[in-house]
Structure 1
Amino acid sequence: MPPEASLAPPNAARICQFYKNAYRFATLYDREKRIPIYSAYKCKQGKGQRYEGWMIEPQLVDPNLGKSMADEWDTNMAAAEIEKNQAVLEDYRHALNIGKGHLNPVCHQPDEDSRAATFTLTNVVPQFSKLNQEAWANYENRIKKEAHVCKDLYVITGVVPGDEYISDGRVNKPSHIWSAACCVHEKGRRTSWAAIAKNDENHVKEESLEKLKKELAELYGIGKVDLFNNACK
């Protein structure tokens, strides 16, 4: 149930995030702004350790390279080639009051490998640190608690690109971060909810999926946004 193509920038990369012999989730990535526009995934409860490190996407350097994400320091690729179409760890090092905000968060994945796969820089954006650590983290934890009532819980978390950048204009700081969830119950009934936050405030506004879609259409400046291909309302 992917979002429609209207959210895609002209130079979009559609990444099937691959780690340890399995596809983990999907990301729409903006090569020019060097941020993900959204990550789409299934939310499942589980436990596991946090991955220590950050990975990059080799296929943003060369489509003929391996399909698995890789540690930035363990590749044979030149730094200039890696940096051309994606963010690197150095971009975040000196950003004030900015954290690496996961779109697919580690707490929404069920096992150690799935959790590790969220630690790719193609799955994070510059996020206001307090929002990342407090209000948005609280919202992510609430979604995790809701997962037990769903047979399947599909989540799309994305951003609205902003006018500000970090790292000397290399990486866009989104103006808003948003999330939409579609809960499929045992007998096929579907329910949904959504949220959005300004990326300079420590506040999350929860709202209906329909209201979020209308708000995103205005923020993106497009006619219509359909996040679940009309499969969830």
Structure 2
Amino acid sequence: YATLYDRNRRIPVYSAYLYQPAPGKRPKTWLVEPQLIDLKYPKTMEEEGTLLKNFSVTLQELSQSQAIQQDYKDLKGLNHGHLNPSSHHNTFSSRTATFTLTNVVPQDEKLNNGAWNIYEQQTMIKKTKDNGCKTTYIIVGAVPGNNYVAQGRVNKPSHIWSSACCEVDSNHRAAWAVIAENDKNEVQLLTLGELEDTLTNLY
């Protein structure tokens, strides 16, 4: 998958991926992206401790380029909100790749565990099945907000949105979208055109 990352706000702008859901073990370890510090570091994602220990990187150097684990500790009413969720992937390695702090935003806890989770786990399955989707492409994004967490280091998005486009056959495609305010346990189902209009006003 591909992610556009905002180093200043320390949140992803969007993540784009192929929808391939499958049951499987959920990773537990959060990773960081060494190359955001400097291109001389490994292209592979690493655990924070491993990077600091094996590559002589300081926590300050790491924290200047991206969010770190400390930023997501002691959050009240918020948690790790995946843009690209691990459950939308069919191998353990691809699920592990979603467990990077460059793929999450501070998301309202009730929304993340409630309406947004229902969209990710139930609505998506129903939509792809009802439309006869063979291949489904997804982009999930976060609209930067006016508030920050972690002592002003990490932006709390005002909205989180998702759009999907699927190939039904060589002549037909289906598409849909959703958006949620990041302080309400509510998801609004939209057409792609409606999402575009909404985002034009928000960005």
TM-score range for the pair, normalised by the shorter chain length: over 0.9
Task: Classify the secondary structure of the residue corresponding to 1:83.
Answer: helix
For 1:156 and 1:165, locate their aligned partners in 2 and report how far apart those are by CA, in whole Å. 24
Residues 127-170 of structure 1 show CA distances to partners (whole Å, capped at 9, x for unaligned) of 00000001000000121444453221000000100000000000
Question: Shift of the alpha carbon at 1:95?
Answer: 1.2
Structure 1 unaligned residues grouped into runs of 5+: 1-24, 221-233
* Match in the other structure for 2:136: 153
* Percent of aligned pairs sharing the same letter: 47
User: Is the Cα contact below 8 Å between 1:108 and 1:144 reproduced in 2?
Assistant: no
Q: CA deviation at 1:186?
A: 2.6
Distance 1:132 1:173, change over 3 A: same
Render the CA deviation track for 1:32-72: whole Å, top value 9, x for unaligned. 00000100000012122111210000011101211111111
Supply the RMSD in Å over aligned alpha carbons: 1.1
Distance in 2 (CA, whole Å) between partners of 1:157 and 1:86 is: 19
- Cα pair 1:43 1:144 within 8 Å, conserved: no
Q: TM-score, normalised by structure 1?
A: 0.82
Q: 1:145 to 1:113 in 2, by over 3 A?
A: farther
Pairing of 1:180-219 with structure 2 (within 5 A): 180-219=163-202
State the partner residue of 1:38. 14
Return the letter of the residue paired with 1:151.
K
Matching residue within 93, 102, 106 for 2:73: 93
| 2:98 matches 1:118 | yes
In the alignment, is the contact (CA less than 8 A) between 1:107 and 1:144 conserved in 2? no
- Verify: 1:169 aligned to 2:171, yes or no: no
Name whichever of 141-150 and 76-85 sits farther off: 141-150
Amino acid at match of 2:144: P
Amino acid at match of 1:196: I
Structure 2's unaligned 5+ residue stretches are none
Question: For residues 137 and 59 of structure 1, what CA distance do their matches in structure 2 show?
Answer: 31
Using the TM superposition, give the Cα deviation of residue 189 of structure 1 relative to its aligned residue in structure 2, in angstroms.
1.0
Secondary structure of the structure 1 residue equivalent to 2:15: strand
Segments of 4+ in structure 1 off by > 2 A?
A: 144-149
Residue aligning to 1:74: 50
Select the residue among 26, 36, 41 that pairs with 1:60: 36
SS for the counterpart of 1:126 is strand
CA distance in 1, matches of 2:127, 2:2: 22
SS in 2 for 1:51: coil
SS of equivalent residue, structure 1 residue 190: strand
- Give the helix-richer structure, 1 or 2: 2
SS state at 2:23 partner: coil
